[in-house]
Amino acid sequence: MQVPKRNSISHNRLEGEIPPGVAQLRHLSFFSLSFNGLTNFTSGIKILMHCKMLDVVLMAHNFLQEMISNDDINMVASNGFKNLQFLDLSECQLTGQFPIWLSKLQKLEILNLNTNRMTGSIPGWLSTLPRLISLQLSDNLISGEFPEELCALPALVSEQDLADNSSFLLPIFNINMNIWFHQYNSIHNWKPNIVLRNNSLSGHIPVEIARLKQLHTLDLSHNNFSGNIPSQISELTNLEDLDLSANQLSGKIPASLISLSFLHTLNVSDNKLYGEILSGTQLQSFDASAYKGNLGLCGDPLPKCGHLTRDSRDMDIHDEEDGDSIPWFHIFVVLGFITGFWGVCGPLLLYHNWRVAYFSFLDKLIDKLDEAIAVSVSG
């Protein structure tokens, strides 16, 4: 195995711009300058794009609060980074929207843009990246919905043969969902994930997410997703970590989730879920903190379901097919009252003879009541 050319000088006090001379390092494959004081993001990316053999670019915590530029970099992007597999620009507080030049990186497998200040929506063109297995966009200012196009990422829909990507030596590290700390010796061993934690995403979680069969981690926490948890998530048979906490999700926890036998991290806390947690399943093996903040949820590991109020039980009548709660019980009560009211009072308003007969009947009824009362008193 040929050892590739590497440049790793992370965690130093380097400042200033990436020198233009780096562009002459034609055989450079691994470039790591994370946690330094680099500036001029646009210039640095353009210089590195001349290094045609680059596999990995790690520049986390640099270019603080700079703007992501599209126009200048697009002039170089057609040929630059053509072999790039791993791009880490996390913790840079970069501003702006998704750079379109990322769509040119047809060999990109891992994209880490965590902890920036990126705005706009998640672009659908990410689904055109045929080898992307890891999309990490947590702690940004991204809005809009979860794009259905994202559910068609080729390398997450079906298993890809990525064995040729293990030619360089790492190691590389990743903090997964702020919980699991992983060290990998090659990109080939990286666990596929989509991490969109702590943004401003809204709308429903698309049922098409079930297509992403290769996913190991799905983190949509701390957003504004609404509607039901799609039962189709149970079709993600490789899923190990699922975090849907701190959203506006409603309805019951899908019974189908019990089929995720390899799920070892679950968090649906701080939503609007209700109903009983299915007993005798691995859903009860998780700590109570995984379910906290859902006032309508009950059952082990939460308190028993006897404490549910009538309002909580009435939720079962709501329509859940599209994730919107429709109070059918209350609708039927109102309709019944209206029907009964007009069934009795309508004819009285429309027909004079009926009104005369009705009030004559009331007069006779009152007279009989008076007589009965008088007899009772005299007796």
Do 48 and 151 lie in a common domain?
yes
Domain containing residue 351: 334-378
More confident residue, 189 or 301: 301
In this structure, the answer to whether residues 40 and 179 fall within a common structural domain is yes
Whether residue 216 sits in one domain with residue 132? yes
Q: Tell me if 238 is assigned to some domain.
A: yes
Last residue of a domain, one of 324, 347, 368: 324
Question: Do 244 and 345 have their domain in common?
Answer: no
For residue 159, what pLDDT is reported?
A: 80
What are the φ and ψ backbone dihedral angles of 19, each rounded to 5 degrees? -65, 145
**pLDDT over 60 at 333, yes or no:** no
Specify the CATH number for the domain of residue 86.
3.80.10.10
Which of the residue ranges 166-175, 191-200, 212-221, 238-247 would you say has the lowest mean pLDDT?
166-175
Residue 306: what pLDDT? 78
Is position 329 within any domain?
A: no
Please give the tally of structural domains in the chain: 2
237 and 121 inside one domain: yes
Query: Per residue in 50-94, pLDDT tens?
Result: 998 999 999 999 999 999 876 666 656 567 898 999 999 999 999
58 located within any domain: yes
Rank 254-263, 326-335, 358-367 by mean pLDDT and report only the highest.
Answer: 254-263
What pLDDT was estimated at residue 247? 98
- Condensed to tens digits (0 to 9), the pLDDT of residues 229-241 reads 999 999 999 999 9
Single-letter amino acid, residue 347: P
In a domain, 91, yes or no: yes
Residues 285 and 360 in one domain: no
Nearest to 256 by CA among 274, 232, 272, 280: 232
Q: Does the structure show a pLDDT above 80 at 163?
A: no
Chain CA centroid to CA 306, Å:
32
Res. 167: pLDDT tops 90: no
Task: Based on the fold, state whether residues 340 and 306 are members of the same structural domain.
Answer: no
Residues 29 and 164 in one domain: yes
Residues 369, 316 within the same domain: no
Shared domain for 356 and 282, answered yes or no, is no
Mean pLDDT on 351-365: 62
Classify residue 122: in a domain, yes or no: yes
182 and 306 part of one domain: yes
In a domain, 42, yes or no: yes
Residue 144 placed within a domain:
yes
Residue 117 in domain:
yes
347 confidence band (pLDDT: 50, 70, 90): low
Q: Are residues 295 and 369 in the same domain?
A: no
Percent of the chain with pLDDT over 90: 55
Mean pLDDT of 7-11: 63
> d(Cα 50, Cα 79) in Å, to the nearest integer?
8
pLDDT for 268-286, tens place per residue? 999 999 999 988 788 989 9
- Per-residue pLDDT tens for 26-51? 889 989 898 899 999 999 998 999 99
Evaluate if residue 343 carries a pLDDT over 70: no
